[in-house]
Amino acid sequence: MKISKSYAALAAGSAALAVAGCNKATTTANTNNAAAATTESSAKASGDPIASAESAAPAAIAHDASIATIDASGASKVLRQGKNGWTCMPDSPATPGPDPMCMDANAGKWAAAWIGHKPPPQGTVGVMYMLEGGTDASNIDPYAMKPTGENDWINTGPHVMIVGSKEILAGYPSGAKPDTSAPFVMWAGTPYAHLMVPVKGR
């Protein structure tokens, strides 16, 4: 299956934003410059980009997924064409820890809507994996780039995200300062609310 346009949009946006609140941001003046760095340079700095991208998801998914990187202009490059409808992206050197990600086509549509500040498709449930974990983000602001005194920055570890369904969020805690060791709703009260499910890391 070919990499989707929605994933390409996500890849481009992730160069400027923390993907679904899951790319790490820093509190230094280098944040914006770091966010513009590419996963292609990550491949050069940290080794095999395909191995990095595959580490984001279970092997049964990652092995047959498309692998893509993004350059500074926002153009995507497919390193490997997949056949299962999933797309994985290697770790970004712009962030202080590992953050490869892997998503299905529905999650790509959701992420493209978030990046474009558009309403996400309803009833289109998607899944994102970030099994390398250890990420930081605002739990209330989908577009926050760094912690402030008002944006409830939280620390999360390896996790799976379930996106695109308001119904699935029912019954899960959605406060500004959740217990990140248990499932919780991130960005509650926004169109991009989604379920964060912590899992055991690699």
| pLDDT one digit per residue (tens) for the chain, 202 residues | 344 444 444 544 443 333 433 444 333 323 333 333 334 443 444 579 999 999 999 999 999 999 998 776 667 789 999 999 999 999 877 666 678 999 999 999 998 898 889 999 988 999 999 998 755 678 888 888 777 777 777 778 899 999 999 999 999 999 888 888 999 999 999 999 999 999 986 6
Residue 1 is predicted with a pLDDT of 38
Do residues 87 and 101 lie in contact, with contact meaning Cβ atoms separated by under 8 Å?
Answer: no
Using the 8-state DSSP alphabet, how is residue 143 labeled? T
Residue 106 is predicted with a pLDDT of 96
The neighbouring-strand residues paired with 185 are 195
SS3 183: coil
Integer CA distances (angstroms), 152 to 49, 51, 148, 175, in order: 32, 33, 7, 10
**Encoding tokens for residue 37?**
């760095």
C-alpha torsion sign, points 20, 24, 30, 34: negative
Residue 144 is predicted with a pLDDT of 81
Residue 143 is predicted with a pLDDT of 84
Distance, CA of 37 to CA of 178 (rounded, Å): 30
Integer CA distances (angstroms), 76 to 40, 99, 108, in order: 10, 17, 14
